[in-house]
Chain A
Amino acid sequence: KAGVTQTPRYLIKTRGQQVTLSCSPISGHRSVSWYQQTPGQGLQFLFEYFSETQRNKGNFPGRFSGRQFSNSRSEMNVSTLELGDSALYLCASSLEEADTQYFGPGTRLTVL
């Protein structure tokens, strides 16, 4: 079974731009969560989607948003990029809510 896939793998943007990251969960998985990983803050929860509904949101500003489609694929968007948004963005999928989460390889975002 294919794992979680994320595109693109690497991205370079400049301050003020916006970016959209994509995540395809493991086949059959209905829950998708997003995390931000930085050297200073570690892994932090962004939000969770289940059945196209946002179920939980972490402590991030409104510039961070996401959505889930009917096929469980998910996208996250960051608007008005700041230097501090440079990070590894990880997507994780699980069969149902509260099941074990399996992570993708991440998208490395660099903001210049």
Chain B
Amino acid sequence: EDQVTQSPEALRLQEGESSSLNCSYTVSGLRGLFWYRQDPGKGPEFLFTLYSAGEEKEKERLKATLTKKESFLHITAPKPEDSATYLCAVQAAGNKLTFGGGTRVLVKP
């Protein structure tokens, strides 16, 4: 059975204080690893898709990397608007996404 574990569960950062979120996974035949951002009361917003170990993608202050067993989401010099829950999900067979529990990030000014 596919499993995804995210750590830490919660992260409090000062504005400008860079940090990393971890997503470790166990899956048979990874087709893709996805990062989403979710604000309270809203649906998840797509950030990145990673397909193979060694792949990296960047968007503004966010950078996602992938190894054979885990993925990292690096937040560089975060701003208060980066406060959200960040979700990691893996896709193996079909269209099913298996999600981790998420990391709640709070960036204080």
- Residues of chain B within 8 A of A45, CB atoms compared: 96-98
Chain B count of residues within 8 A CB distance of the other chain:
24
Min C-beta distance of B21 to chain A, whole Å: 15
Min C-beta distance of A4 to chain B, whole Å: 8
Min C-beta distance of B40 to chain A, whole Å: 11
Chain A count of residues within 8 A CB distance of the other chain:
26
Interface string of B84-99 (1 = CB under 8 A from A): 0001010101111111
When A42-B102, A43-B87 are in contact, do A56 and B46 touch as well, CB less than 8 Å? no
**Could you list which residues of chain A lie within 8 angstroms of chain B, going by C-beta atoms?**
4, 31, 33, 35, 42-45, 48, 50, 55-56, 58, 90, 92, 94, 97-98, 100-106, 108
**Could you list which residues of chain B lie within 8 angstroms of chain A, going by C-beta atoms?**
31-32, 34, 36, 41-46, 49, 87, 89, 91, 93-102
